[in-house]
Structure 1
Amino acid sequence: MDLQHLSQTLERDALGVVFINVLLQQLGLPVPAVPTLLLAGSLAATPGSLGSLAAAAVLASVLADWGWYHTGKRFGYRVLSGLCKLSINPSSCVSQTEARFLRWGPASLVVAKFVPGFSTVAPPIAGALRMHQPGFLLAAGAGGALWAGLALGTGWLLRDTVRQVIAALERNTTEALSVVLVLAAAWLGWKFWQKHRFQRLGSVPRIGIDELRTAWAREPRPLLLDLRGAVMVAQTGPIDGARVAEHSQLEQAVRDWPRNQPIVTLCACPQDAGAIMAARRLLDMGYLSVRPLEGGYEAWTAPKPLGPN
């Protein structure tokens, strides 16, 4: 754990290190930037150099966000689905993050970097929703300045404490490594708990596309709940006969549906995660027959059309 070497590197080329570290993190790589910002802030010689570090961090952050913005603008829900598949939490779904963006509006970009899992997803959602670019850049810049400024400012204000911590870690490398291992074990335990929780949710019986086609040809048809999210619905069109809903407003969306009529939930999430979560909630609310569509929207758009010929 050569923290002294890291400190020396920051002293020599703080602007470059901060810029690259922030850029890589905001592009989605698992490279934590806050520790670097704290350390860089503690090593800043003057308020002017602190301002230069903040400018480098904000520039890197906005460049990464701008790249994600244009990716979302060009590829729409496809890039969102890809990010959903790369999500650490298998039970998360971009449609839920998208709903948060729609509720908060441009202000969501200001706070995005403080919300786990939201920082990388918010810019492509803004692009997919065709947010006005000057407004996007302004909000992204404000968010980057707030995030980087807090980290750098904290390092500056607590510079003596930060240096003492570094010196203590250098003297107690074994103990520090033990703490890191304990934290890593706790993180792995949390991930296993998430996996177990998702597997429990996944125990909800699903309906296959062939069975749904058969049921769709009879009356009364199953009630279909579309949880794909506003971006995908806007770009691919609504599903005929389905009701669009957000996870946060699930109860309001189905309150006029009979509790004894079969319901099918549908999403565009990996492992049908969003549809499974919605089905579990509806069952807990007292609906008697709720099943997620296996394969989700991809199954729905398979070559053989739904409905009577």
Structure 2
Amino acid sequence: MDLLTELFARHGLVTVALAVLLGQIGAPLPSTPVLLLAGVEAGSRPGFAWQAFVVATLSAQLANGLWFWAGRRLGRRVLATLCRISISPDSCVRQNEASFARRGVLTLVIAKFVPGLSILAPPLAGTLGMRTWHFMVWNLLGSALWAGAAIAVGRIFHAQIDAVLQALAQLGSAAVVLAGAALLAYLAWRLWRRAQFNRELKRFERLGPVEAMALLDAQGDILFVDVRAFAPDMPLGHRIPGARHLDLGALREDTLADWPPSAELITYCACPNDASAARAALWLRQQGRSVRVLRGGIDAWKQAGLHVETL
């Protein structure tokens, strides 16, 4: 701890810039604690708080802008890559899409205060087609609020944070062991949750696009269910013809009141491992409906050259 505080005292602004930039890019580095230390350091260095605030805000804006550009250019491929390295790869896109659907651009304001949302929100905004100037303005506001809040907390509670650092320094290796044990317990719980979901996913028959189209031609009484989340200023773009939309954030029994009672349902999404489609299928089965999952979702459907509707 003494080495960390000494390094921060000598190269504070560089440390803030690198920590925020790397943290927002996706490196497993804790940037918020560094901002707290910046607030502590501001107690003995006049003007340092404002300098750290500007550096942190601009660093976050730069990193987020790169992810927004990647989302705009590469689409859901960049989301799939991020989710594969996530602790919760099966639900990360679904939860963030739902946040954009409920809150729209305000998601960018709160993103850095919500674990898991900070990294995915910028590329998801690009993928969903958010206007560039909307992203830049709202993300800048969110970055400024996050950086300012963390530095302010560090400044206000500098005495308490100093006491914690001194206590950790006295514990020495024991503090490292305790922190490692807590992290391992958290990872084990999340991996157990993921394994549970994978078992649920295997319970549903998954059809490829060509198989689903052949079933539609042969049987006819098929209803596709689109479970992607969307916001009014970021439309879905395309859907399978005749598909009904199902909001996973507002599931009620009366949702199915006007759906054909005898139709076989095929759910689809645009997420890794068809996670949202599987969760929707599970709920629909609980409502007594016959349901399957479209393997690969809307992206696989379009890649197969099958017809889509423009929204």
State the TM bucket, normalised to the shorter chain.
Answer: 0.7 to 0.9
Query: In structure 2, how many angstroms separate the alpha carbons of the residues matched to 1:232 and 1:135?
Result: 15
**C-alpha displacement of 1:304:** 7.3
Percent identity for Structure 1 against Structure 2:
37
**C-alpha displacement of 1:257:** 1.6
Per-residue CA deviation, residues 23-43 of structure 1 (Å, 9 max, x unaligned), is 111112221111111122212
3-state secondary structure, aligned to 2:267: strand
Aligned twin of 1:22:
20
Q: Indicate the RMSD between aligned Cα atoms, in angstroms.
A: 2.5
**C-alpha displacement of 1:124:** 2.3
Scaled by the length of structure 2, the TM-score of the pair is: 0.87
Amino acid aligned to 1:273: A
Per-residue CA deviation, residues 52-106 of structure 1 (Å, 9 max, x unaligned), is 1111111111111122222223333333343344432133152442232133122
Q: Greater CA deviation, 94-103 or 271-280?
A: 94-103
Query: In structure 2, how many angstroms separate the alpha carbons of the residues matched to 1:169 and 1:175?
Result: 9
Aligned twin of 1:103:
102
**Which among 31, 36, 51 is matched to residue 38 of structure 1?**
36
- In structure 2, the CA distance between the partners of 1:294 and 1:140, relative to structure 1 (3 Å rule), is closer
- In structure 2, the CA distance between the partners of 1:76 and 1:211, relative to structure 1 (3 Å rule), is closer
Per-residue CA deviation, residues 161-180 of structure 1 (Å, 9 max, x unaligned), is 21121121111113212311
Amino acid aligned to 1:76: G
- In structure 2, the CA distance between the partners of 1:138 and 1:90, relative to structure 1 (3 Å rule), is closer
Query: In structure 1, how many angstroms separate the alpha carbons of the residues matched to 2:305 and 2:14?
Result: 55
3-state secondary structure, aligned to 1:36: helix
Structure 2 gaps, min length 5: none
2:52 pairs with 1:53: yes
Structure 1 gaps, min length 5: none
**C-alpha displacement of 1:250:** 4.8
Q: Greater CA deviation, 287-296 or 147-156?
A: 287-296
- How many correspondences in the alignment? 302
**C-alpha displacement of 1:182:** 2.1
**Which among 276, 279, 282 is matched to residue 281 of structure 2?**
279
2:224 pairs with 1:220: no
**C-alpha displacement of 1:18:** 0.5
Aligned twin of 2:258:
256
Q: Greater CA deviation, 251-260 or 172-181?
A: 251-260
Q: Greater CA deviation, 171-180 or 246-255?
A: 246-255
2:291 pairs with 1:290: yes
Amino acid aligned to 1:170: A
Amino acid aligned to 1:242: A
Kindly indicate whether the alpha-carbon contact (under 8 Å) linking 2:239 and 2:298 is maintained by their aligned counterparts in 1: no
Query: In structure 1, how many angstroms separate the alpha carbons of the residues matched to 2:243 and 2:92?
Result: 19
Kindly indicate whether the alpha-carbon contact (under 8 Å) linking 1:109 and 1:143 is maintained by their aligned counterparts in 2: yes
2:239 pairs with 1:241: no
Query: In structure 1, how many angstroms separate the alpha carbons of the residues matched to 2:94 and 2:161?
Result: 40
Per-residue CA deviation, residues 242-271 of structure 1 (Å, 9 max, x unaligned), is 223432245476432244431111122222
Query: In structure 2, how many angstroms separate the alpha carbons of the residues matched to 1:260 and 1:134?
Result: 47
Kindly indicate whether the alpha-carbon contact (under 8 Å) linking 2:224 and 2:242 is maintained by their aligned counterparts in 1: yes
2:183 pairs with 1:184: yes
Q: Greater CA deviation, 244-253 or 60-69?
A: 244-253
Aligned twin of 2:6:
8
Query: In structure 2, how many angstroms separate the alpha carbons of the residues matched to 1:295 and 1:124?
Result: 20
Aligned twin of 1:119:
118
Aligned twin of 1:267:
269
Query: In structure 2, how many angstroms separate the alpha carbons of the residues matched to 1:12 and 1:294?
Result: 54
Kindly indicate whether the alpha-carbon contact (under 8 Å) linking 1:41 and 1:153 is maintained by their aligned counterparts in 2: yes
Kindly indicate whether the alpha-carbon contact (under 8 Å) linking 1:226 and 1:267 is maintained by their aligned counterparts in 2: yes
Per-residue CA deviation, residues 217-265 of structure 1 (Å, 9 max, x unaligned), is 124332111234546841xx22123223432245476432244431111
